[in-house]
Structure 1
Amino acid sequence: MGDYQDEPPRLRAGQPHCPYCGLPVDRVATPEHDWVLLEPGMAPLAHVVPPQHRWIERSDGRVTVYGVSPPDPAQRCRVEHRLACAAQPLPDLWPWLTALRTENDRRTRRTARDWPHAG
């Protein structure tokens, strides 16, 4: 979640923009009276988004994280802009996958050292 600006979007002219990349974002309130910047015009199926990153729109216009796993196969969700922002590092969405990638990188380097070099 990000509280990048204090005033609600209805008091500002135009659509809010990401403070990192400058692209337009949807700034939406949460039930906790905080704000989250969501990727505009995108509502993927919830089952393709990690549970802790599924933002579901409520009937009152606010969004909340929907961590139920697995979700209804037809459920759609919103995605936080920081996951799509090219100017911010991607968070560790699946720690086990990050660990696997790190180990594979080590294995690749070890294997490369052990290969006989042509020359």
Structure 2
Amino acid sequence: MGDTENTAERPDRPDYALQAALEGATAPPPPAPPDCPHCALPQDRYPTLHEGHWVLLEPRIVVPAHTAPPRRRWIITPDGNAMNLYPWPRTTVLRQENERRAQRLFNLSDDRYLSDTG
């Protein structure tokens, strides 16, 4: 039996401000214009999964994920939200597994080559 009288209630929604800032989801919400704070050119503004936080992305530009810094890799979900895959544990584990497999395959090739020649 737990002591529930001294337990503080948790908020219904977590505070996403720090995580959103780390990911660059710092765009002003509508109705503010979606202009880049650095160059003043218009951008595409997307809501993020961090409630109340928005991100500005270059319009009509798609770049390979490996060319963007890890915390700046955004995808647009079918419902129109921008989602940063970096903080999601599943993608981190998948990336580590792919790296492990590639390393194992690379080493396997070296071992096979050495055993055939020796």
TM-score range, shorter chain: 0.3 to 0.5
TM-score (norm 2): 0.45
Query: Whose radius of gyration is greater, 1 or 2?
Result: 2
TM-score (norm 1): 0.45
Highest relative contact order (Cα 8 Å, sep 6+), 1 or 2? 1
> Which structure shows the bigger proportion of residues in helix conformation?
2
